[in-house]
Amino acid sequence: MRGLARLAMRGPTFAAACAVAMALASMVFGALLIPAGAIIALTTLRFGAREGFKIAALATGLLVVVRLGLGQSLSHSLALAAVAWAPAWLLANVLRLRRAQDWPLMLAALMVLTGTALMRLSVGDVTAFWRKTLKPFFELMSKDAGARFSAEQMDFIAGQMHGWTRVAMFVVLAGTILLARWWQAELYNPGGFGSEFRELSLPRGMTGVAGVSALAYAFSEEGGAMLGLVGDACVLLVVLFALQGLAVIHFLARVRGLAGAWLATLYVMLVLVPQVAGPILATTGLADNIVDLRRLRSGRQP
């Protein structure tokens, strides 16, 4: 990955070409959308908003030419460019001004929440939407694997799809800006990313936002799109505080000199049982937001 960043830093044409290559590859392996955006974010962090915009525009032109040559539509090509590079450019500019990771991550969550709100307005019942979208998958599983799903099981899976889609969208945006920041540190400030991430802390007011959102969701007597949107916000707040909790764990591991295998185990748990590890990390992050666990552990002055 560092080789890709070094290649992109050789000049605007190289950066645009690398971004286009990753964007095209993401059509086969979706996770490559993260380095596709990170290249634009890296150039923006390094050279500024104007230069980053120029490279994004150049990449968009190249992407359109290549996809049109492959028989793809103009609208789909522009949509791919917008999804890959517009959020990356915006998040990089916020990080460049803020010089801390909290506001870019909160902006990423806000982008996802806005997207889910638009989806709820456009499709209405998101569970019904995902059930209809997944219907060919259910039929294929029933035909080829002999797996038969009840209506309740299909509704459950459809409901879970909406939740995991929100998390996946946030992971892509957060991964984009964090990868760009890591690349920047590796190339120009070795060790800088780790020290910055270990200090990650959301504004104290986010504790109040989380509390109000949780109470509104728990005690609301009405369903519908508004309650669903509050639920979406709660999920994203859990993910945000989980990132702060992860920063706390990295900080404590460094202070106590814990072996790298301990952190590796934590990441394995996040992959295998995110529904367990995520809330635990979120609780840690929320506690740190209230009492500053890192200051207490290190003896720093408030």
Within a domain: residue 186? no
Per the domain annotation, does 214 fall within a domain?
A: yes
Write out the DSSP string of 243-284: HHHHHHHHHHHHHHT--HHHHHHHHHHHHH-HHHHHHHHHHH
pLDDT tens digits, 187-233: 999 889 999 999 999 999 999 999 998 888 887 766 666 778 888 89
| Residues 35, 36, 40, 41, Cα dihedral to 10° | -40
Q: What percent of the chain has pLDDT over 70?
A: 93
- 225: domain range? 200-302
> Does the residue 271 lie in any domain?
yes
Residue 35 maps to a domain: no
More confident residue, 239 or 159: 239
**What's residue 301's pLDDT?**
45
Domain count, the chain: 1
User: Is 295 a residue whose pLDDT tops 80?
Assistant: no
Residue 249 lies in a domain: yes
What is the per-residue pLDDT for 78? 92
pLDDT single digits (tens) 85-143: 999 999 999 999 988 899 999 999 999 999 988 888 888 788 888 888 887 777 777 66
- pLDDT, the chain, mean: 88
Q: Is residue 120 part of a domain?
A: no
Q: Does 292 map to a domain? A: yes
